[in-house]
Amino acid sequence: MPRGRYSLHDPHDHTPLGEEHFHCAPGPSGWRYVAQRTTPSGDHSGSIDLALDELGRPLRLELNAASWQVRGAALDGVTWVRTDPTGTHATEGNAPAHAFTGTSPAFLVATARLLRLTPASPSTRVRLVALTDPVLAPRTLDQSWTLLESETHATDNGPLIVDAYQVTALDTGEQHTVHISGDVVLAAPGIELEHLETPPSTFP
């Protein structure tokens, strides 16, 4: 069960946004990721609990930030309920999308797991519902994912396979590269892996 800590920053001006303390593990039904977020000063700022099924679809998502909460799952596309800080104005949403995304590294692992790109089939498009900080406002977007390469690195714990993906936002054409090993993001815009207690899990 990997445990560790990501530091998060604005990918454009590198302003520190805080840290995400996480643990994750594959299980009999898929994969689960749980994390707590802190501000740059160390105050609690939110949490994420994401469970995927064995095909990489979101079985359950609970996201908290700035007193806002979103609960969602894959149902008729993806369906969610977003609750305001007072709890009096809950709104339901649904979109013909494949999964959720957001600023947590968990969503990059989840999307890679959902797409399962291979050298024989290295590229595809995906529609996602982005839950944007700080109030978790939903926005549907389209991305193109391409598997650039898979490299094997020798480590003390055995070989470590690192997949490099090129992610393109289809509305703006903006591109960036994401490096993932198993269920841990090693590097991505706005995300740095600062500490990892145990090696990444490998998916069957």
Summarised one tens digit per residue, pLDDT across range 153-165 is: 888 878 889 999 9
Distance CA 191, CA 194 (A): 9
Q: How high is the pLDDT of residue 156? A: 81
Is the pLDDT score of 182 beyond 80? yes
119 — alpha (psi -120 to 50), left (phi > 0) or beta? alpha
Tens-place pLDDT, residues 106-150: 999 999 999 999 999 999 999 999 999 889 999 999 999 999 999
Is the pLDDT score of 29 beyond 90? no
Does 100 fall in a domain? yes
Number of domains the chain is built from: 1
Confidence of residue 88 (pLDDT cuts 50, 70, 90): confident
Does 149 fall in a domain? yes
Does 204 fall in a domain? no
How much is the pTM?
0.95
Is the pLDDT score of 202 beyond 90? no
Does 156 fall in a domain? yes
DSSP string, 178-193: EEEETTEEEEETTEEE
Confidence of residue 193 (pLDDT cuts 50, 70, 90): very high
**Which residues span the domain enclosing 86?**
3-198
Does 203 fall in a domain? no
Does 74 fall in a domain? yes
